[in-house]
Amino acid sequence: MTKGMVSAPQPEAVEAGLDILQDGGNVIDAAIGAALVQTAVDPQMCGIAGFGSMHIYLADKNIHTCIDFHGRAPKSTTPDMWEKLIVRECDDGFGFLLEGQVNEVGYQSMTTPLTIKAFDEALKRFGTRTLAQMLTPAIQYCEDGFEVRPAVHGFWTRGAEAGRIARIRGLTDDPATAKIYTKADGSIYGVGEKLCNPDMAKTYRQIAERGMEDFYTGDIAQQIDADMRANGGLITLEDLADCATESVDPLWTDYRGYQVATNQPPGGGLMIIVMLNILENFDLATMGHNSPDYIATVAEAMKIATVDKDARMGDPKFFDIPFDELMSKDYAKAMADRIKRGEKTSVPRMNMGAPESKETTHICVADTKGNCVSLTHSLGSSSGVVTDGLGFMYNNCMMVFDPRPGQTGSLAPGKARFSALSPTIVLKDGKPFFLVGAPGGTTITMGNLQAILNVIDFGMNAQDAVYAPRFMATSDTIEVTNRIFRATERELQARGYPTHRHGQSYLMPSVHGIRIMDGKLDGGADPSTDGMAAQV
């Protein structure tokens, strides 16, 4: 048995990962087996036709790497194809609302699907089990069904006020999708009711028997291609055959004697580094956790990183990112000095007004030997499209591209859009100390940052670090959850900060983490989800 811990938003996934560890599997096996269960029991948050970032540290093999599997715009994409459809920009700058919402739902909203390829690659390179073996728990949930959890049902019933569309459209617009997610009377499944997906089970069994390649060049690929051609989709057989992951070294910074490793662009790890480097110039602990001084200081670092993200971070295959400047301590000190002078950073937005959907999922796995995986994977907020007979849903990551040509995040064939996915591992004296990650759109980096600060600056354990009240600043407004003191909010307003109080005590991103101290593990699962952290 491997002694280890799993933290994730879905209890089913946590249990599956623990079963694999108990059976002698390693952290890679547990992470992939659990992630595949997530695709079955949280099928709008993630899926085999999605994208993501996997941060791997294997102490017993001296391996530290990131597998990047961001989806890319199909080859038929053109930079100006949606330029005349712009309605407004999302308030956090992560995508645009378009007429007809063609980038949000339907057959043009998908980037190339890379999740199942990344999972297979991780198992072949670092695991001890096969993809076929790791698909078994997910197949069982597809065939036997899973009880709809409150978080799943809450997403299904979320209105346009909490995202760019009413999410029920993702279950009902497409007939093949409605066949799975609605009952005979057309209603959706309620909390506690069992939902089965035999078509997904059949697809998973076919992949187990024929291999991952069937999805990209075989029978499944042919079915995908035929469906796309029949419905005006952008993805082709050539797109599928050319799909490729990338293995890259992590980005690094030092923070108060700790070493912080995170993912490369087009993931969001560079934002984590920019913010930590700035905040190292302040005595945050003396300010007091979530005091007005603390929130104002951290929020300014968030805004600076957001402006840098919008203007200077993108897909490195298409955009020359000034890494040396953005990661330098001198740049961070200059930004910190600006904050100390009382200067407020403004985050420019075009015609702001649409909130962004904040969906994705995450899993952390660690063992007592210091082997660990922090894996964030997603469907965006899901396209609502299922190819009849295949069962799985496609991503809708085309929604986050900028439809204006000539911008950092503009549309281009083969391009990946910068995302906030930022699975991060903090090391102390060269050994893993804290691993963290989260779903939640552009709020992911802000949640991961605060969890790291909570652990390092305030000495919190993993559960307290992800439980503590959070705030975020991805625009000029500081957003606070309902457990931030109103007196604190009034003081921020008195200092000239616009604020927005959310009614929820726990809000996206849904941060999950595991801390490793003296060979012992403690985990945290964000209470905004139905998840948990547990160990064997």
Please tell me the number of Cα atoms within 13 Å of 352 on its side-chain side.
11
Estimate to the nearest angstrom the gap between the alpha carbon of 376 and the chain centroid. Answer: 5
* 3-state per-residue secondary structure call for 324-366: HHHCCHHHHHHHHHHHHCCCCCCCCCCCCCECCCCCCEEEEEE
Amino acid at 353: G
What residues are paired with 362 via a beta bridge?
Answer: 376
Is residue 51 within 8 A of residue 397, CB to CB? The reply is yes
Which residue bears the tokens 């952008």? 234
Running DSSP on this structure, what letter comes out for residue 468?
S
Structure tokens at 21: 């560890």
Question: How far from 146 is each of 186, 197, 225, 531, CA to CA, in Å?
Answer: 19, 9, 30, 15
Is residue 306 within 8 A of residue 300, CB to CB? The reply is no
* Residue 387 CB partners (closer than 8 Å, separation 6+): 176, 223, 224, 227
Set 360, 387, 488, 499: catalytic member: 360
CA R_g for the chain: 22
Task: Give the Cα separation of 441 and 507 in Å (integer).
Answer: 12
For the range 457-460, what are the long-range contacts, defined as Cβ-Cβ under 8 Å and sequence gap of 24 or more?
457/256, 457/284, 457/285, 458/284, 458/285, 458/289
Burial of 219 (0-12, 13-18, 19+ CB in 10 A): exposed
- What are residue 101's phi and psi, to 5 degrees? 50, 40
Nearest to 457 by CA among 329, 270, 280: 280
Nearest to 465 by CA among 453, 483, 473: 453
Is residue 81 within 8 A of residue 96, CB to CB? The reply is no
Task: Give the Cα separation of 228 and 389 in Å (integer).
Answer: 14
In this structure, how many other beta carbons lie within 10 angstroms of the beta carbon of residue 518? 5
The question of whether 360 is a catalytic residue gets the answer yes
In this structure, how many other beta carbons lie within 10 angstroms of the beta carbon of residue 235? 27
Angle at 359 between CA 437 and CA 242, to 5 degrees: 85
Positions marked active-site: 360
